Chains A and B, each alone.
Chain A
């Protein structure tokens, strides 16, 4: 794709053609220098990191990177948020050294920024990831990767075209006991797995709905909405609770499904596949702004090999066997999954920053010639990302894997929204035989926050 530096472009022409672009690929007024797409982004030893979205999980990522900065691993050079209060707090946490921005695109213009950590509400993930890749930045993006099928495909294309290392924040895959569970299953210890049944507690409902109102002074509401159709501000959109709305989140199936089902795809060696059918039953709120299903059960049928994945919310919780450890480590046993094989079953609890499994898997010793499964360095998801940047190898939750997981979450909600079973072509990655449902594979974005 032809590119041109924004400033020189504006100086020369104002608005003009930039030369022919590939069919369907937009010409971009961008910060990248013409021809810079020939080289992969920087993989130097001490990366300059910028954080986009610094509340909630974003604050956690910032704290992690500041700790690494104190060890001389990285430089935190910029922070960005549409909430000025959160932004000011983030700047303060860096000792006033990081440059603050409200608009993430200023960060993308900076040539000294090597990588970005995106921890914005879900409706921003794909757009910002695509833009970051097109600007030559490596990306760590919070899960779920995307909000629509089209967005996920655009993320994969952008990462590949710009040779960017994208790690999606389903960090469960990087945890020690996830590795051990994976190893146990991959070595046939429970036989061929035919059913994976997840459990998770219900999505909360908006039991205190309020009228639309003016946004608070510290918030850029228009920029918070970004790609979403404009609508008046309502206090029940944020912060944190954005995840209970279908457009900006999608409920527990997307918030935690992106963890628990990520592990399922990983353990089943199914990142490159997808289901052939999706059928959802659910119970949605009768009032309030939040419209994600309170309870739902989604059945995903996979073929070749045949297996069934069930997202059950709340489902049937399996208590963790060591009650002392539950208390000692605060194990959140209210979500997890049962892997049912032809010989035995294995339970994996939680699935995000915490992962626990049964003693038989923890004690299992890999025999000579046994199947080795991926392992993140030091069981650290961020470390795996850094190694991916430096070596060019795929990360454990690479963009294709992140998107495959997000597609499960998206399709589960779509089946409920349209009220019918969906047929899915896992090779073409599209809904088949249902034109109206097919159209919901995309949600055209509000300009200029387009893919």
Chain B
């Protein structure tokens, strides 16, 4: 067992569902980042696990750490963003969620593809109509378009549907078929571009006999 693990309870993670939850800046973003940069698991681990209340101000600097040379620091930064997003997504925390959404939307133009991809997945959890346009812009990003398609599939509402429909009209090849699948998954009727999910493509080199 990893003795360096820390206790996470529903209370410690963020007073779930409580309207009186700590304000977004209760955990200083600077303090959080200092601890995330630590090479000591006992410092860094509890930092990312308790990152929730740091909120929107911590999102961009954490994203920059996602490409740190130390893969444990990079992973901790990524997980800290996840904790922040799930904390902000709790019922009754609309303003925190909107602030985190805005911070994530800004990351969709980040220079690093892994950051853009993570941001769009995070938006799939807490994004609303305001995030749809910037998310849809990634549907033409060769490094992140499949993640954007998946993320938009998860966003409820007509705006996300229209974004997927618009992209399907201009896309080509397999990605066009994938977009059609997204629309069907959302309950839309799409008569063209039948799914090719059952079409095998990968040959083995192993032989019988």
Contacts and interface: CB of A to CB of B under 8 A. Distances in A.
Interface in B112-149: 117, 121, 124-126, 146-147, 149
A220 interface: yes
Contact of B201 (A20, A103, A442): A103
Contacts of A283: 5-8
Nearest to B2: A205
A25 to B, nearest CB: 7
Contact of A286 (B2, B150, B187): B2
B100 to A, nearest CB: 11
Interface stretch (B23-31, B58-66, B85-93): B85-93
Nearest to B120: A229
Contacts of B89: 418, 435-437
B10 A286 contact: no
B18 to A, nearest CB: 9
A450 B71 contact: no
Contacts of A101: 200, 204
A448 B199 CA distance: 9
B17 A420 contact: yes
B10 A91 contact: no
Nearest to A15: B193
Contacts of B121: 229
Interface stretch (A206-214, A331-339, A352-360): A206-214
Given A31-B198, A202-B1, A447-B149, A436 B154 contact: no
A287 B2 contact: yes
Contact of A448 (B10, B41, B117, B196): B196
Nearest to B147: A229
Given A108-B198, A286-B49, A444-B150, A26 B208 contact: no
Interface range on chain B: under 10, 10 to 19, 20 to 34, or 35 or more? 35 or more
A21 B180 CA distance: 13
Interface string A417-441: 1111100000000000111110110
A17 interface: yes
B44 A103 contact: no
A138 interface: no
Contacts of B14: 419-420
Interface in A264-297: 279-289, 291, 293-294
Contacts of A135: 198
Given A101-B204, A286-B45, A439-B154, A24 B5 contact: no
Contacts of A29: 194-196, 198-199
Interface residues of A, number: 83
Residue of B83, B117, B184 ringed by the most chain A CB atoms within 10 A: B184
B146 A102 contact: no
A92 B42 CA distance: 48
B198 A285 contact: no
A15 B174 CA distance: 11
Given A287-B72, A439-B124, A444-B150, A6 B187 contact: no
A450 B76 CA distance: 30
B52 A447 contact: no
Given A24-B189, A99-B208, A281 B154 contact: no
Given A283-B5, A417-B86, A419-B87, A26 B184 contact: yes
A42 interface: no
A434 B97 CA distance: 13
Contacts of A288: 2, 72
A105 interface: yes
A287 B200 contact: no
Interface in B175-209: 175, 177-178, 181-182, 184-189, 191-209
B170 interface: no
Interface string A90-110: 010000111111111110110
Contacts of A287: 2, 4, 41, 44-45, 72, 75-76
A17 B192 contact: yes
12 contacts: A26-B181, A26-B194, A29-B194, A101-B204, A102-B202, A134-B198, A204-B1, A419-B52, A419-B86, A436-B126, A439-B125, A448-B196
List 8 A-B pairs, minimum CB-CB distance, nearest first. Answer: A286-B45, A420-B16, A436-B89, A419-B13, A205-B2, A447-B178, A105-B200, A444-B150
Interface of A: 6, 15, 17-18, 20-21, 23-31, 84, 87-88, 91, 96-106, 108-109, 131, 134-135, 202, 204-205, 207, 209, 211-212, 220, 223, 229-230, 279-289, 291, 293-294, 415-421, 433-437, 439-440, 442, 444-451
Given A108-B200, A284-B5, A417-B86, 13 more contacts: A24-B186, A26-B184, A28-B194, A108-B198, A281-B9, A284-B8, A287-B75, A420-B10, A421-B17, A433-B91, A434-B90, A447-B178, A448-B197
